[in-house]
Amino acid sequence: MIDRYTLPSRMLAPEPGWHVRADVIVVGSGVAGLTVALAARSAGLSVTLVTKALLDDGSTRWAQGGIAAALGDGDTPEQHLEDTLVAGVGLCDVEAVRVLVTEGPGAVRRLIARGAGFDHDEDGSLALTREGGHHRNRIAHAGGDATGAEVSRALVAAVERDPGIDVVENALALDLLRDREGRAAGVTLHVMGEGTEEGVGAVLGRAVVLATGGLGQVFAQTTNPAVSTGDGVALALRAGARAPTSSSSSSTRPCCGSGPARAASSRWSPRRCAARARSSSTTAATASCTVCTRWPTSHRAT
């Protein structure tokens, strides 16, 4: 009898009819995927970005809340850390929160440098508000409650301006390709509809980053968009990744501390992934919180 927990190692699909190559393959075009693509380009790497629908589809543009970061006068990452741990009532991964609050200000500044227009006060300074759990004004908004839409707009525009990023839209990622040692070597995908390529193909590269978001559509009621069907999580599991069981996995997010707390403990970041990709012949990483870069035969971002 077949063990009901045994997963197939690959999808039933035709053999790839075409191949392309890139240093880094990014699957997903939300804030995580777009950011890592741009970071890889900053490291001098070529990028192929694969997305299941259009480049600006997904969850990022629907995010209405602001971004919390210690950007105000007198505020510090240590104060942000303390507020977060108090609000987390013992559920937070302390190291994950420490990474979040330490790297957060720089991340916001990079978004601004890439063209994101955050709200400003009359004197021209960044408008920061205070929300539940924070003892300082440290929430940055864009267009009031359209922060996600503005962040997505700016990152998409930056990606579209970069000739070193090849975007493949309407492409469903099927399986992770591995070399003889079991290390990530690319992905197979099925380009649907109006994609630039047709049918099943393969993208080969030195690093694979899964930034495919959540799986809210497995539930009858969800606020997740229609594309949140857990493709990246399933792909990772078929490839041998270990995923923690969590009732909150339906709202998986990039490893930014806002998803399941222990998920962010992998300390994933675009800069680390890009740097590792540059120095390694074959690399795998994932920005999907329920998987957390736990590849058995390839590196775990540190």
Structural domain boundaries in the chain: 21-61+156-286, 67-145
Q: Write out the DSSP string of 70-81.
A: --STT--HHHHH
Tell which residue, 280, 270, 293, has the closest CA to residue 41. Answer: 270
Residues near 199 by beta carbon (within 8 Å), at least 6 away in sequence:
14, 17, 18, 190, 191
According to CATH, what is the number of the domain 21-61+156-286?
Answer: 3.50.50.60
pLDDT at 16: 86
Q: What are phi and psi of 159, to 5 degrees?
A: -65, -45
pLDDT at 139: 97
Rounded Cα–Cα distance for residues 89 and 26 (Å): 35
What is the full per-residue pLDDT of the chain (302 aa) written as tens digits?
334 455 567 777 778 888 999 999 999 999 999 999 999 999 999 999 999 999 999 899 999 889 999 999 999 999 999 999 999 999 999 999 999 999 999 999 999 999 999 999 999 999 999 998 999 999 999 999 999 999 999 999 999 999 999 999 999 999 999 888 888 899 999 998 655 567 899 999 999 999 998 889 999 999 888 889 998 988 998 888 876 654 444 433 333 333 332 333 333 344 444 434 333 333 333 333 333 333 333 333 32
